[in-house]
């Protein structure tokens, strides 16, 4: 910037500002301002032409008056005239006035645009920067139309100075954000991307902000930036603090640029190029290593910059979710922050670990910090940190620690901050239901929940416990006994009375044999609470009383006396009065048989998703629950192709609609939308709701499966060829061919069941699946990443309109009829911005998903190995290692394959052997596997033997891509 000479000090402006500051009252200030405005107006209208200095001074005074909160309705033309000056200070004041006071609808825009064009073409770097700053500050559509084609040329021109390039990049970013349809990079794309290689770090910092924004909207056009970003990041991470002196902040080299590079890489999946991926992994390892080094400065700025880079690196590791070693290391690093004295670091660590807990690779590592998190829940002073600790406990919960976590959350509830109690109650209720192996524990937990925080227990919670008790014979007696004991407390919450009235009315007979809980004792206990309750609860209790008359005829006279009392049949509330009159008449005139028929025990409720989930999601906002369960929690509608589009062997898989989701789906944070499935070969091959609670035994899996009747056809969505498979407004088009990366996306899920299947700038598809024998269930989550509606979603049972940011869940039941090689295709069609989007992906259903692990002794294994010695039964492949040969990672992947990993079987302890049986409807296919790693040569030899040759070949192909 040019130096400002002493003569440019504008003494008159300084005197005016001093006068304003010396005013003793508001009236005096207004009087002085009005006097100055009159003087400026007369000067502008006077016959004598003003020189540049005077114009600058008076325009500056107007600007100051405006900043004091007064309206300015003149002086705009004088400011525009200053733009034509050749003096920097005059031009600067002119641009400043225009940036602040001129709106986009001003009549002067055309004159301003002409002045800006002159400055941009002047090749004077100072004037060019002033013009670019003005364009960015105003940022109107008119300016975007005028300069969107010119600024990219300035940005990539070889003779443009570095300071101008920085301004041009940020100016273009501003215009793109306000008018993205006008900023078309086109031919400039590759040259803008190559600014990441610029020698000037300031240019790189400005350019990366622009590239990140452009990549989010057009990732395919800018995907070449990944390798350049990794290269630049590698140079920064490996540099010493003295190498980048101008861009080193408290001994941390280029922290802002490093964070922006890591954020840019989060717009893309892991690099496909092995060398680039290796270099990136090395960078991330270096960042994690530097976090362990002692600080080079005690200043807080040093630790802030260092931690900012670390957290962005961890976010990138979580985004990729493909490097087990890095995920575990990231978890351990965050675990150290959990006990840091800085509150903000503890908060961020808890928040990041919530996301890590949803990864298969790092879930176990997160669980090791359970005691620290529980301690944070109890001792943290800041309520927001305690809330994140509760979120993390919720996210890390599984069958192994559910009782401990639920107990701790219940304990914390007694002293929890009122602002988070309702959310805590919902989480305890969800966890207790999801991980209840023993349903007596579930009943105890919910009743304890009502006792501790009854005011925050919503109807959804006590409704749910009623549903579960009614649907499970084994827990009904225990529930009746427990709720009877709970009602004996002197102070009893109304929600407890509701649960007690319902359960005793249905199952009080199960405990009536004990004199301490005889029918009259039960009735008197309930009726003692009657007068303390609200009208809805009283109505429920009246229904319980009439049920008692059916269950216990000896209580009939006592209950009729209560119903006949004036407080009931003459009650001011019409609902209570009607119930009392009708129940009294029913008990008086109906025969025993009629009474038993009318008042028979409630039938089991149809299994459906817990409504508690929807309540929690609504409480926390869209997507808030899914972060704990599935980081890919944004969903959108889709369509699964029929058999004709799946490829030759994929017809071996029959998919059916799931009428209700499983309990494990409850924590996915959605209401279940009607599922969409493939047209199966025949209705007889369809499954009922295999994962619903009606088919779950104590170990939480399948029981009593039966195929549905022929009427199940009505459950099926029409295939792509059906005339009504989409709303009438959708133009029917053939399904798109599978994406080129479909096979790569499929391979990601060979050894895992959860994750992000596909993501682009519009749509994210997440998957969560579970299998048992030849049956499977898959949950697809479609997320609209834009703020615009997706309309005409071409899948009949899915809502045809998806709001921006909305989420849709799709459930598919799967049955393996015989072995297969090709995965079924998923075809998604919807309209975005008027354009039909049509894409096809391979669903990650591979033959290994139907493995039943088989434990074998060494002798049995090799005996069976020799029996499978025919050439066609064996498939073998020797290949180079694609990843680090880590023993734990290899074990995790082999276990993820679905086979049993056999210990101490192979004579060579370095080798891995596995055994399993593939369960299909047609037959069982026994398979044995032997993996021989050679760490020195970085090679593997994989041998698979199966009783069916096609299975051996397919398993060998799938596994060779995993190591």
pLDDT tens-digit map of 222-270? 888 999 999 999 988 888 766 677 788 888 888 999 999 999 999 988 8
Residue 885 pLDDT greater than 90, yes or no:
no
Number of H helices and number of E strands within the chain? 39, 18
Residue 634 is labelled as binding a ligand: no
Residue 44 and residue 71 in one domain: yes
Residue 526 pLDDT greater than 70, yes or no:
yes
Residue 202 is labelled as binding a ligand: no
Residue 784 and residue 868 in one domain: no
Rounded Cα gap, residues 381 and 506, in angstroms: 46
User: Any idea what the CATH number is for the domain that residue 803 is in?
Assistant: 2.60.40.1230
What is the number of structural domains in the chain?
3
Q: Is residue 948 part of a domain?
A: yes
Cβ–Cβ under 8 Å, residues 958 and 848? yes
Residue 94 is labelled as binding a ligand: no
| Domain's final residue, options 811, 842, 873 | 842
Q: Is residue 451 part of a domain?
A: no
Residue 95 is labelled as binding a ligand: no
Q: Which pLDDT band holds residue 610 (cuts at 50, 70, 90)?
A: low
pLDDT one-digit tens code per residue, 656-668? 433 333 333 332 2
Rounded average pLDDT over 718-747: 55
Rounded Cα gap, residues 770 and 900, in angstroms: 17
Q: Which pLDDT band holds residue 887 (cuts at 50, 70, 90)?
A: confident
Cβ–Cβ under 8 Å, residues 883 and 963? yes
Burial class (CB in 10 A: 0-12, 13-18, 19+), 15: exposed
Nearest to 270 by CA among 211, 212, 318: 318
- DSSP strand pairing (900-902 vs 924-934): unpaired
Residue 60 is labelled as binding a ligand: yes
pLDDT of residue 164: 92
Rounded Cα gap, residues 197 and 195, in angstroms: 5
pLDDT of residue 293: 86
Q: Which pLDDT band holds residue 825 (cuts at 50, 70, 90)?
A: confident
Residue 359 pLDDT greater than 70, yes or no:
yes
Domain hosting 865: range is 847-961
Cβ–Cβ under 8 Å, residues 826 and 724? no
Residue 797 and residue 762 in one domain: yes
Q: Is residue 808 part of a domain?
A: yes
Q: Is residue 374 part of a domain?
A: no
Residue 12 is labelled as binding a ligand: yes
Q: Which of 612-621, 695-704, 733-742, 836-845 has the lowest mean pLDDT?
A: 695-704
Q: Which pLDDT band holds residue 681 (cuts at 50, 70, 90)?
A: very low
Residue 813 and residue 857 in one domain: no
Token pair 């600058």: residue: 56
pLDDT one-digit tens code per residue, 363-394? 888 888 899 998 888 888 888 898 899 999 99
Residue 871 and residue 792 in one domain: no
Q: Is residue 312 part of a domain?
A: no
Residue-averaged pLDDT of the chain: 80
Rounded Cα gap, residues 305 and 289, in angstroms: 15
Residue 439 is labelled as binding a ligand: no
Q: How far is CA 886 from the centre of its chain?
A: 30
Q: Which residues pair with 912 in a beta bridge?
A: 931
Rounded average pLDDT over 818-826: 85
Residue 465 is labelled as binding a ligand: no
Residue 143 pLDDT greater than 70, yes or no:
yes
pLDDT one-digit tens code per residue, 48-62? 778 888 888 899 999
| Domain's final residue, options 842, 875, 896 | 842
Q: Is residue 30 part of a domain?
A: yes
User: Max alpha carbon distance in the chain (Å)?
Assistant: 112
Nearest to 774 by CA among 688, 697, 849, 677: 849
Cβ–Cβ under 8 Å, residues 97 and 59? yes
Rounded Cα gap, residues 128 and 394, in angstroms: 55
Residue 888 and residue 917 in one domain: yes
pLDDT one-digit tens code per residue, 177-221? 988 888 887 788 888 889 988 888 899 999 999 999 999 888 888
Question: Two tokens at 536?
Answer: 């809805």
Which tops the pLDDT comparison, 60 or 804? 60
pLDDT of residue 173: 92
Residue 790 and residue 759 in one domain: yes
Q: Which pLDDT band holds residue 348 (cuts at 50, 70, 90)?
A: very high
Start-to-end C-alpha separation, the chain = 57
| Domain's final residue, options 46, 67, 96 | 96
Rounded Cα gap, residues 52 and 44, in angstroms: 12
Residue 11 is labelled as binding a ligand: yes
SS3 798: coil
Ramachandran sector of residue 284 (left: φ over 0; alpha: ψ -120 to 50; beta: rest): alpha
Residue 854 and residue 909 in one domain: yes
Q: Is residue 815 part of a domain?
A: yes
**CA angle centred on 605, ends 602 and 609, rounded to 5°:** 155
HSE-CB of 754 using CA atoms within 13 angstroms:
19
Residue 823 and residue 925 in one domain: no
Residue 810 and residue 751 in one domain: yes
Q: Which pLDDT band holds residue 613 (cuts at 50, 70, 90)?
A: low
Q: Is residue 885 part of a domain?
A: yes
Q: Which pLDDT band holds residue 928 (cuts at 50, 70, 90)?
A: very high
Residue 828 and residue 881 in one domain: no
**CA angle centred on 568, ends 564 and 573, rounded to 5°:** 155
Rounded average pLDDT over 899-924: 88
- DSSP strand pairing (754-759 vs 851-853): unpaired
Residue 802 and residue 855 in one domain: no
């Amino acid at each position: 910037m040019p130096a400002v000479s002493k003569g440019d000090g504008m003494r008159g402006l300084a005197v005016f500002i001093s006068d304003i500051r010396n005013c003793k009252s508001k009236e005096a200030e207004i009087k002085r301002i009005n006097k100055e405005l009159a003087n400026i107006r007369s000067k502008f209208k006077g016959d004598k032409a003003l020189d540049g200095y005077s114009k600058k001074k008076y325009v500056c005074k107007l600007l100051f008056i405006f900043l004091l909160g007064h309206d300015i309705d003149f002086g705009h033309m004088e400011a525009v005239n200053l733009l034509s000056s050749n003096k920097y200070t005059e031009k600067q004041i002119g641009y400043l006035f225009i940036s602040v006071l001129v709106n986009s609808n001003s009549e002067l825009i055309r004159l301003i645009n002409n002045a800006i064009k002159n400055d941009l073409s002047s090749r004077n770097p100072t004037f060019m920067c002033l013009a670019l700053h003005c364009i960015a500050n105003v940022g109107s559509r008119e300016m975007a139309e005028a300069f969107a084609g010119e600024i990219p040329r300035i940005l990539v021109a070889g003779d443009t100075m570095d300071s101008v390039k920085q301004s041009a990049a940020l100016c273009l970013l501003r215009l793109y954000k306000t008018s993205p349809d006008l900023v078309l990079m086109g031919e400039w794309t590759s040259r803008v991307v190559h600014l990441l290689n610029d020698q000037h770090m300031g240019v790189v910092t400005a350019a990366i902000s622009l590239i990140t924004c452009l990549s989010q909207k057009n990732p395919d056009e800018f995907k070449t930036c990944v390798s350049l970003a990794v290269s630049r990041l590698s140079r920064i991470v490996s540099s010493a603090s003295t190498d980048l002196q101008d861009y080193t902040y408290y001994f941390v080299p280029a922290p802002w640029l490093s964070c922006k590079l890591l954020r840019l890489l989060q717009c893309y999946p892991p690099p496909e190029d092995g060398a680039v991926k290796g270099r990136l992994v090395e960078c991330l390892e270096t960042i994690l290593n530097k976090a362990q080094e002692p600080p080079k400065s005690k200043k807080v700025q040093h630790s802030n910059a260092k931690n900012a880079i670390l957290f962005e690196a961890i976010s990138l590791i979580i985004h990729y979710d493909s490097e087990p070693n890095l995920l575990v290391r990231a978890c351990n690093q965050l675990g150290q922050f959990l006990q840091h004295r800085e509150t903000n670091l503890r908060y961020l660590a808890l928040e990041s670990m919530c996301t890590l807990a949803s990864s298969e690779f790092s879930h176990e590592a997160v669980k090791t910090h359970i005691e620290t998190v529980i301690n944070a829940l109890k001792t943290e002073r800041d309520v927001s940190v305690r809330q994140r600790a509760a979120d993390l406990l919720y996210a890390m919960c599984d069958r192994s620690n559910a009782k401990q976590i639920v107990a701790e959350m219940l304990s914390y509830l007694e002293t929890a901050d009122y602002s988070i109690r309702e959310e805590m109650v919902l989480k305890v209720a969800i966890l207790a239901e999801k991980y209840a192996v023993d349903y007596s524990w579930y009943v105890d937990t919910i009743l304890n929940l009502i006792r501790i925080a009854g005011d925050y227990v919503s109807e959804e919670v006590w409704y749910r416990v009623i549903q579960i008790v009614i649907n499970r014979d084994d827990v009904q007696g225990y529930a009746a006994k427990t709720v009877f004991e709970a009602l004996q407390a002197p102070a009893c919450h109304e929600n407890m009375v509701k649960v007690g009235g319902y359960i005793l009315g249905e199952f009080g007979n199960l405990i009536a044999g004990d004199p301490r809980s005889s029918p009259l004792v039960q009735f008197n206990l309930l009726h003692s609470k009657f007068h303390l309750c609200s009208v809805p609860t009283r109505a429920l209790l009246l229904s319980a009383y009439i049920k008692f008359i059916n269950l216990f005829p000896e209580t009939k006279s006592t209950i009729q006396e209560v119903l006949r009392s004036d407080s009931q049949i003459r009650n001011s509330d019409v609902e209570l009065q009607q119930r009392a009159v009708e129940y009294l008449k029913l008990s008086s005139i109906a025969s025993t048989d009629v009474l038993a028929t009318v008042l028979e025990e409630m039938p089991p409720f149809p299994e459906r998703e817990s409504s508690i989930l929807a309540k929690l999601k609504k409480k926390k906002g869209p997507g808030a629950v899914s972060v704990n369960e599935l980081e890919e929690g944004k969903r959108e509608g889709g369509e699964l192709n029929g058999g004709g589009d799946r490829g030759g062997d994929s017809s071996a898989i029959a998919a059916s609609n799931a009428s209700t989701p499983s309990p494990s789906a409850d924590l996915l944070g959605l209401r279940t939308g009607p599922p969409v499935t493939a047209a199966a070969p025949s209705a007889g091959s369809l499954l009922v709701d295999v994962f619903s609670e009606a088919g779950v035994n104590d170990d939480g899996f399948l029981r009593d499966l039966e195929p549905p009747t022929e009427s199940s056809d009505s459950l099926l969505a029409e295939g792509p060829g059906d005339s009504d498979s989409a709303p009438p407004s959708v133009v029917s088009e053939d399904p798109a061919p599978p994406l080129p990366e479909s096979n790569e996306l499929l391979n990601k899920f060979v050894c895992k069941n959860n994750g992000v299947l596909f993501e682009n700038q519009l749509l994210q598809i997440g998957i969560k699946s579970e299998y048992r024998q030849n049956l499977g269930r898959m949950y697809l989550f479609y997320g609209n990443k834009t703020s615009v509606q997706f309309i005409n979603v071409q899948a009949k049972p899915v809502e045809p309109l998806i709001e921006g940011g909305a989420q849709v869940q799709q459930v598919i039941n799967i049955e393996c009829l015989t072995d297969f090689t090709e995965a079924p295709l998923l075809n998604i069609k919807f309209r975005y911005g008027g354009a039909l989007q049509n894409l096809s992906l391979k669903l990650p259903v591979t033959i290994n998903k139907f493995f039943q692990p088989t434990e074998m002794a060494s002798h049995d294994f090799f005996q069976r190995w020799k029996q499978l010695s025919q050439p066609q039964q064996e498939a073998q492949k020797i290949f180079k290692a694609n990843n680090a040969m880590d023993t734990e990672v290899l074990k995790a992947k082999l276990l993820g394959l679905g086979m049993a990993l056999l210990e101490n079987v192979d004579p060579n302890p370095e080798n891995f052997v596995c055994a399993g049986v593939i369960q299909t409807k047609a037959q069982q296919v026994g398979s044995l596997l032997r993996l021989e790693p050679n760490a020195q040569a970085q090679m593997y030899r994989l041998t698979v033997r199966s009783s069916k040759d096609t299975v051996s070949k397919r398993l060998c192909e799938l596994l060779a891509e995993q190591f």
